[in-house]
Amino acid sequence: MRSETQGAVEALSPRSSSLSPLSIGIDASRSLRPEPTGTEFYSRQIIGHMLAAPSDRLAFRLYAPEEPTAEAMRGDAPPPHDQRAVTVRTLPGKRLWTHRTLAWEISRRPPHVFFVPAHVVPFLPPALLPPTVVTLHDIGYRYFPRAHTALQRLYLELSTRWSAAAAQRIIAVSRHTANDLQRFYGVPEAKIRVIHEAPIPRPPVQRADANGRDAAPLSVYQRPFALYVGTIQPRKNLLRLIDAFARLIQQHEIGWDLVLVGHRGWLSQEYEHHAAARGLTGRVHFPGYLPDAAVAALMEKALFFAFPSLFEGFGLPVLEAQTTGVAVMCAKNSALPEIAGDAALLVDPENVDEIAAAMLRLSQDENLRQELIAKGYENVKRFSWEKAARETLAVLEEAAAKK
């Protein structure tokens, strides 16, 4: 694998024959986040599995603002099929990196096709933009505008509208997202390809780290617990989840806790105050963002997985729980039924009584838990990163031939 600094390499020559490699440029910037969440995990996995796909017809150029680690480039994928066919193009820069630094690079040295897995297409005149494929994960800001500042909403609206218009092909991670793109932006069906994501592999469960410390917070093992994993923010509907949990404690004196794992996002302090005001200190746990080994340990121990989100473009945590062998309760909205299949107990996320009833049922009905676990193992067989990579590469080749 080659690494280059800006300005130190000659431009890739256009294909001179059908035997020449197809040069694929990829915006790898989102895969570098030190504590990745959904779109960053997607970027790592799809890039890594595309690089590993067996083909002698492809050459990859990864663009990043800093030198990526092997983990950031590959996720859990095997090594690249041909190390010589992969070049890392390091383009230092911070402010407006996509629309200044990256845009300048791909206009001067255009690949045959350009892939944006988890961000926005650079603002370039159409004549200077290579044939482009972009993955659009969701347009949740249309459903929950109050979850963003006015400036964020404006940027999301403009950048999504631009990406949808500028790209030759759009990858939607769910049929629900594809339908939203047609509904809100008038994107033609022929321009969209639905390619599902896949579960994010977690490392084997470890009881202790290299220093002998427990891999996950010991306090949550003192009682059984229900688990949520995801960003702590309003769209995830955690206030209602906490209210449902409080109702169960008051009405049924349940003996299990609630663990909410994830980055503290917008208004995150509100949730801890909300739990404290209902007398749930010591029963609702907020361990924050945890490393993969700790999340794997919690998944393995959880009584059930609770994911009553108000909106999801895909819903990776549901598949993670099903892969681990945890019974799942999730909302019956957006893309969640599409992804969860028949392997989850579906609830109205705006109905606290319904959430509480489902949680109580999952905590008491062992037969139901085992049924959902078995169905979950079957459901996740529909999804794989190898399949997603093959389908994505086919879309890239299609886009390259179109322009």
212 occurs within a structural domain: no
3 state SS of 186: coil
| Residue 9: how many other CB atoms lie within 10 Å | 13
pLDDT at 89 over 90: yes
Give yes or no: residues 184 and 37 share one domain: yes
- At 246 the pLDDT is 97
**Which residues sit opposite 4 in a β-bridge?**
89
* Cα 319 from chain centre: 11
CA distance 266 to 263: 10
CA distance 173 to 335: 9
211 occurs within a structural domain: no
Q: Could you list the residue range(s) of the whole structural domain that residue 276 is in?
A: 218-382
3 state SS of 5: strand
Give yes or no: residues 308 and 326 share one domain: yes
Q: Where are the beta strands (DSSP E) in 137-237?
A: 169-172, 192-194, 225-229
- At 15 the pLDDT is 39
Query: Are 42 and 196 contacting, i.e. CB atoms less than 8 angstroms apart?
Result: no
126 occurs within a structural domain: yes
CA distance 257 to 220: 8
- At 337 the pLDDT is 97
pLDDT at 11 over 50: no
The lowest-confidence range among 42-46, 71-75, 139-143, 179-183 is 71-75
Pick the more confident residue, 216 or 386.
Answer: 386
Distances (CA, A) of 6 to 10, 63, 293, 368: 11, 10, 36, 57
Give yes or no: residues 146 and 226 share one domain: no
Q: Say if residue 145 is exposed, middle or buried (CB neighbours under 10 Å; 0-12, 13-18, 19+).
A: middle
**Which band of pLDDT confidence, cut at 50, 70 and 90, is reported for residue 14?**
very low
Give yes or no: residues 245 and 284 share one domain: yes
- At 218 the pLDDT is 46
Give yes or no: residues 54 and 194 share one domain: yes
Pick the more confident residue, 286 or 144.
Answer: 286
Give yes or no: residues 262 and 395 share one domain: no
Query: Are 379 and 341 contacting, i.e. CB atoms less than 8 angstroms apart?
Result: yes
pLDDT at 388 over 50: yes
213 occurs within a structural domain: no
327 occurs within a structural domain: yes
17 occurs within a structural domain: yes
Alpha helices, H only, 302-351: 316-324, 336-340
Give yes or no: residues 234 and 288 share one domain: yes
CA distance 143 to 70: 36
Query: Are 245 and 306 contacting, i.e. CB atoms less than 8 angstroms apart?
Result: no
CA distance 219 to 179: 43
Task: Output the average pLDDT for the chain.
Answer: 88
Give percent above pLDDT 90 in the chain: 67
Give the sign of the dihedral formed by CA 122, CA 126, CA 132, CA 136. positive
Query: Are 131 and 400 contacting, i.e. CB atoms less than 8 angstroms apart?
Result: yes
The lowest-confidence range among 83-87, 214-218, 314-318 is 214-218
Domain count for the chain: 2
163-220 per-position pLDDT tens digit: 999 999 999 999 999 999 999 999 999 999 999 999 876 665 555 555 555 555 545 5
398 occurs within a structural domain: yes
**Which band of pLDDT confidence, cut at 50, 70 and 90, is reported for residue 147?**
confident
Give yes or no: residues 257 and 361 share one domain: yes
pLDDT at 64 over 50: yes
Could you tell me which of 134, 125, 124 has the C-alpha nearest to residue 25?
134
**Which band of pLDDT confidence, cut at 50, 70 and 90, is reported for residue 268?**
low
Instruction: State mean pLDDT over 93-102.
Output: 90
- At 162 the pLDDT is 95
pTM above 0.85, yes or no: yes
Query: Which CATH number is 305's domain given?
Result: 3.40.50.2000
Instruction: State mean pLDDT over 337-354.
Output: 97
The lowest-confidence range among 111-115, 156-160, 190-194, 197-201 is 197-201
pLDDT at 75 over 90: no
Instruction: State mean pLDDT over 271-294.
Output: 92
Instruction: State mean pLDDT over 358-380.
Output: 98
Give yes or no: residues 117 and 164 share one domain: yes
pLDDT at 343 over 90: yes
Could you tell me which of 32, 5, 11 has the C-alpha nearest to residue 23?
11
Give yes or no: residues 140 and 9 share one domain: yes
The lowest-confidence range among 43-47, 188-192, 210-214, 321-325 is 210-214
Element (H, E) at 49: helix 38-52
Give yes or no: residues 182 and 50 share one domain: yes
Q: 264-290: string of b/e by CB count within 10 Å (b at 16+)? A: eeeebeebbebbeebebeebbbbbebb
Give yes or no: residues 173 and 259 share one domain: no
Instruction: State mean pLDDT over 150-169.
Output: 93
- At 206 the pLDDT is 55
| Per-position DSSP letters for 190-215, written without gaps between them | GGEEE--------PPP-SB-TTS-BS
210 occurs within a structural domain: no
The lowest-confidence range among 46-60, 214-228, 255-269 is 214-228
| Residue 95: how many other CB atoms lie within 10 Å | 7
Could you tell me which of 290, 368, 277, 374 has the C-alpha nearest to residue 325?
374
One-letter amino acid of 350:
E
